[in-house]
Chain A
Amino acid sequence: MASPANANMNAVRETMDVLLEISRLLNTGLDMESLSICVRLCEQGINPEALSSVIKELRRASDSLKASENGTSQG
């Protein structure tokens, strides 16, 4: 029967909804997809602090990259 799996799916979906709410409340800037990636990573034992520092670094790098790209395209 698929119903327990379904129920589990629903439960997980709800959990993710809650998580998204928390994330929004905290103004983390994560969307649903990134959130699910993070959850999976955490589940695999990645240290959250390390993960957060990576994410921050990635964002910064991405931002600077975009800025430089914009700058080059404009230039």
Chain B
Amino acid sequence: MAHWSRFEKELELETRRLISHFTSIQDEEDQNFQMTLKFAWSNFKFHSFLDVNRHNVQRSINGIHEKLMVHSDLSKAESWLRLTEEFLSSPLPNTEGTKSDVHYSVVALLLHLSDSPSNTNYCERPRLKETEKEDEFDWAKYLMEGEDIDTGPFPDTPEWSEDESEEEDRQQPLSREDSGIQVDRTPQEDHEQNDKTVQVTWTVGEPDSRAWLEQHIVTSYWVPNSPRFPHSLHLHSNLYNVWDQHLYNTGPLYLPEEKSFVTETQVIRETLWLFSGVKKLFIFQHNDGKVTVRNDVVVTHLTNNCLRSVLEHIAAYGQAVSRLQKFIDEVTDHSAEPCPPGLNSSSSSKKSSDPPFRTYQAFVWALYKYFTSFKEELNTIEKDVIAKDETVTLSSVLERLSPHLAQITMLHRVFCIGVADVPPGMPHVLRASHLLNTLYKAIIEYDSVGEASEQSVALLFSLWVETVRPYLEIVDEWIVHGHLFDPAKEFIIQRNKDVPVNHRDFWYATYTLYSVSETVESEERLSDAASGSSGGEQASSSRQHTMVSFLKPVLKQIIMAGKSMQLLRNLDCKETEQKSLYTLFLESVQTRLRHGEESPTNTVTKQQATKKSLIKMQSIVARHLELDDIHDPLLAINFARLYLEQNDFHEKFSGGNVILDRSSESVTCQTFELTLRSCLYPHIERRYIECCGNLMRTLKKVYRLLGYLQAMRNYFLLEAGDTMYDFYTAIFDKVLEKESWQQLAFLNVQLQEAVGQRHPEDSNRLSIFLETIDPARKKQPVNNLDGLTLSYKVPWPVDIVISSECQKIYNQVFLLLLQIKWAKYSLDTLRFSDLTVAAKTQEGGQSEESTAKEPINQQIHRMFLLRVKLMHFVNSLHNYIMTRILHSTGLEFQHQVQEAKDLDQLIKIHYRYLSTIHDRCLLREKVSFVKEAIMKVLNLVLIFSDRWQAGFGAWKIESIDKMESDFKNCHMFLGTILNKAVCRGSFPHSHIYIYIYIYICVCVRV
């Protein structure tokens, strides 16, 4: 064998080694060995096999990979691809270069020798070994190329050569046998299985490309038993394993669970998705609106509990976000498109029983705007994560988001209290006002914390300003145009539909004020019937109602202005075009805040109106501030928000002349109530003064209110003395002449004659009626006049003030005055001659009889004296009532009427005036005994005058005694009663009695 080359020698040597290794025949001279050697040689030299085709080998490699994938041996499949690739690009001992034919032939050899790898894979032993080995291998790789560890979960992306893709393309139709896997069942089924395991629908057509994508684009950590991404074995990156191992070692009962490993980047990404409202997540799971953290998720560098506590924290925020998001969706789903509040609440589709009303819409709109900015922030973070320019960790993300998260917590709290906790079925007005109140309270609450919560207050304030918009628009519509437009019935004041404006009850019964009691939380319906709006106001203050607390200080003004405006509109008064209340409010808020916060820019601001110039201005301001060395983070935030929100909704939605710099709303508002007081209330106040002043002027000038009030006093309180004298003396004369006067025609003719002469304009308004009176009450002559009722037809808007109730009181006073006048008249008309003449005739006839008893002259003298006493009483009473009471009260009243600011006040003044005169004329039930005593005297007067008229002799001496004693009794009675009352001070209007008392004293002395 000397001719053998060195090559052949080596080859033979190797062959011998091979044989001795496989057959374990160590003796080379053995016959068997020789035979084997010969066999091997002949096979090596004279075989009929083709040379190794690298394409075929590559195809087989891919085939095996696919096969492993089919068998869900994802980790094995991945290792397979990686290992072969690694091998092909590694050097061999005696071969130069990589991916040489030798490489492929070695692989081909192994493939030929392989014994159903997919089958053996089912037993765990080789798998475990492999992973361990693999780890070792990766460890080495880590040492060599340390940076690879940062490339994420797929560091081994193969070079995507055209060769490969071509191969893959061509490989498709090849049979399974090519893969070198011998156990091969129903490839079709396996294929489907493959699809199932992946569970992701890729748009990439080829299953192989898909598989490649699954392998390399992102580890499908959401799939159960997904392959673990390779990662560093450094201790820091394996805290979980170390800890797990520790637990395993120390606790005999510790059972390691199946865990899904994720990377921190994946956790960050899922967190960001969670915050942006994505529901289908792996780490966070949504169950009935609750967000929970998956139990089996771990990262390698943290212990399970640690990660869990962090994630649960995040889940809580996520839950708040999703709840708010859901609310936004609910409300916006109702209306066809997200639209500004204030346009279509009535037309919103009736998908469910409870379409959202404008306040909710406004609130949602504000929330939506906030979330837009929040999502922008999330997007920036996600972009940063993708860019990989800097290390982004979960904690850094949380830190970055922490202000937002705090705000979201706060928003969620406000939402829970203001919206979610309201039981279903509540009327809109309650919901709306409750929401506004909650926001209002929250602002005040946070505001009181001071600087710590400036941003919260700023956010809440902007929310509130948005949410209050419908309310202010309703108020505006009402107090500017006199039209309470509230289709969804959310405003605290509701128009009662059944009362027309030109009805005399309009002022009282048109509106219903709803208020929410905080403690009872029940609806209170306060119909402001009795005394206009004041009833509602009182109730609200006394019961601590909270109906929209921000409006409370000006509620009365709003109601007054609204009603006045509506009335005015119906009186055909021209309207003046104005800026809307909301605009005015925003403008003043802006000016105020800018005044407080940005005083250096104040002058600039005023000059620049448009948005563009505003942006320009802000940069100027920023430079200004830098120059002045002012470090104001708040200002910076405002600028940031200004830029963010400059594409603001106003131009899109309000469609009006509102040019707003929205940053102002985000400026914190120190002392919120002060802000309101200076920004909102003055506008309402001004409007109120305007409206009511206008109404008062109109009523006084166009509708002659004062004239009618004067007329009431003229006729009912007999201030037009001459006119009424003509009227009542005609009646009294009739009575004197014992003729019947109770005929309506007669009375009306007398009245018209009297009035027509002097006040022709009133003659057709005045009329007189006779009410039928219980005959039992007519026993006393003084009650003869009862039932006489004067009526004055007051035309429409004025009858709001001079109502029929007022006329009743007027009539009571009128009747009293008539009675006094009658007594006075009957005393005045008595002639002394009547008695003296009669006495003389009597004297002649019966002189003797009279001497027996009492001289006639003495009797007549007693009559004279009694008459003078009675006259004094009646005159004093008459004077007292006509001058001291009616006249002075009237003057006071006229003065007050001049100063009345609104109609309600005017009505109240009128009522107070009436009740004053009613009281002072002793017509009140409580002091009726005084009045009765006086009535007795008046009765006495009438009886007295009647006897006087009858002439001397028509009465007996005893009747004079009785009259005298009656009068004295009444005197005494009045004296003691009034004396006592004054001493006790039990009567509120004791000054009246003091007057009467003084008068009585005078009387008694007489």
Contacts and interface: CB of A to CB of B under 8 A. Distances in A.
B475 to A, nearest CB: 80
B928 interface: no
B90 A54 contact: no
A44 B15 CA distance: 11
Contact of B23 (A22, A25, A62): A62
Interface string B119-144: 01000001001100110010010000
A12 B96 CA distance: 12
Contact of B18 (A15, A29, A41, A48): A41
Contacts, number: 160
A57 B112 CA distance: 13
A39 B17 contact: no
B137 A51 contact: no
A24 B529 CA distance: 97
Interface string A4-40: 0000100110110111011111111110011001111
Given A11-B90, A47-B105, 5 more contacts: A18-B87, A24-B129, A25-B76, A41-B15, A58-B18
Nearest to B49: A49
Given A43-B102, A62-B24, A52 B93 contact: no
Interface string B45-88: 00101111000000000001000000000001001100110110
A62 B126 CA distance: 25
Most buried by A among B80, B87, B134: B87
Contacts of B86: 18
Interface string B308-330: 00000000000000000000000
A43 to B, nearest CB: 5
A30 B114 CA distance: 10
A37 B109 contact: no
A8 B90 CA distance: 10
A48 B90 contact: no
A34 B110 contact: no
B91 A27 contact: no
Contacts of A50: 43-44, 47, 49
A59 B494 CA distance: 101
Interface string B89-112: 011111100000010011111111
**Residue of B15, B36, B110 with most partner-chain A CB within 10 A:** B110
B115 A29 contact: yes
Contact of B116 (A27, A39, A53): A27
A67 interface: no
Contact residues of A: prevailing secondary structure: helix
Nearest to A21: B83
Contacts of B140: 14
B351 interface: no
B32 interface: yes
B10 interface: yes
A40 B90 CA distance: 15
A28 B793 CA distance: 120
Contacts of A44: 7, 10-11, 14
18 contacts: A15-B91, A18-B86, A19-B87, A21-B79, A24-B126, A26-B117, A30-B110, A34-B21, A39-B93, A41-B15, A46-B11, A47-B49, A50-B43, A50-B44, A52-B112, A55-B22, A57-B43, A61-B36
B39 interface: yes
B635 interface: no
Main secondary structure of the interface of B (DSSP, over half): helix
Given A12-B92, A27-B117, A41-B11, A22 B49 contact: no
Contact of A48 (B10, B109, B117, B126): B109
B113 interface: yes
Contact of A22 (B43, B83, B91): B83
B416 interface: no
Contacts of A17: 133, 137
A41 B14 contact: yes
A38 B24 contact: no
Contact of B51 (A12, A47, A58, A62): A47
Contact of A33 (B21, B109, B115): B21
Contact of A54 (B43, B91, B111, B129): B43
A29 B113 contact: yes
Contacts of B198: none
A24 to B, nearest CB: 6
Contacts of A51: 44, 109
A14 B106 contact: no
B658 interface: no
Contact of A26 (B10, B47, B92, B111): B111
A45 B275 CA distance: 63
A15 to B, nearest CB: 4
Contacts of B18: 34, 37-38, 41, 54-55, 58
Contacts of B15: 41
Contacts of A23: 110, 113
A26 B110 CA distance: 7
A42 B106 contact: yes
Contacts of B130: 21, 24-25
B227 to A, nearest CB: 15
A17 B140 CA distance: 12
A49 B111 CA distance: 9
A57 B39 contact: yes
A13 B126 CA distance: 21
Instruction: Sort A-B residue pairs by CB-CB distance and give the 4 closest, nearest first.
Output: A26-B114, A52-B112, A48-B109, A15-B90
Contacts of B180: 26
Nearest to B16: A37
A39 B102 CA distance: 8
A30 B107 contact: no
B114 A61 contact: no
Nearest to A39: B106
Scoring B7, B39, B43 by chain A CB atoms within 10 A of each residue's CB, the highest score goes to B43
Contacts of B126: 24-25, 27
Contact of B109 (A12, A29, A52, A61): A52
A8 B64 CA distance: 30
Contacts of B24: 62
Nearest to A33: B21
B108 A12 contact: no
A53 B105 CA distance: 14
Given A15-B91, A41-B18, A61-B23, A47 B79 contact: no
Nearest to A41: B14
A37 B40 CA distance: 14
Contacts of A22: 80, 83-84, 87, 107, 110
A12 B94 CA distance: 10
